[in-house]
Amino acid sequence: MLSRDSPCFVVLRTSFSRRLDFCSLLAFLQRGTLTRKTFDRALQALPITQHRVIWERYIHWAKDFGVPQTAVRVFRRYLMFEPGYREDYIAYLEEIGQFQEAARQLSHCLNDEAFISPSGQTQHQMWMHLCDLCARHPNDVA
């Protein structure tokens, strides 16, 4: 197993242009905390106009890592950057069984008059989705 002080890790850490490669390597090695911290440092180092490159990989890693709490926290931060992806967050919440938070996020979309669904859902369809969610999981949404 490679240690944090091995030469290949040091070289990858020194150059931001290699930061994404380092994130990919850490994700492959299943180094959870170090991967998350590296993604966070990459976001801090880049200007906000270039965050999209990092966020795509960060969200993908967080969902695949297998720790739902981490993915939820990463998604919440991502929504501060790109609120239009709230529907993806809702779908993920439903996948992991967090129906109450999914309903809360759906109602957030419905209460925001400026919200335009990236997937093209109408307000009526989102209301029906919320009603269906409440009907299927009444104890979880309460």
Per residue in 76-110, pLDDT (tens digit) is 989 988 888 889 999 999 999 999 999 999 999 99
Per residue in 112-121, pLDDT (tens digit) is 888 888 888 8
Specify whether the CB–CB gap between 106 and 90 falls below 8 A: yes
What is the per-residue pLDDT for 51?
Answer: 82
Q: Which residues of 85-109 are buried (b: 16+ CB within 10 A; e: fewer)?
A: ebbbbbebbbeeebbebbbebbeeb
Mean pLDDT of all residues in 56-78: 88
CA dist 115 and 71 (Å) reads: 23
CA dist 103 and 110 (Å) reads: 10
Kindly state the DSSP code that residue 33 receives in the 8-state scheme.
Answer: H
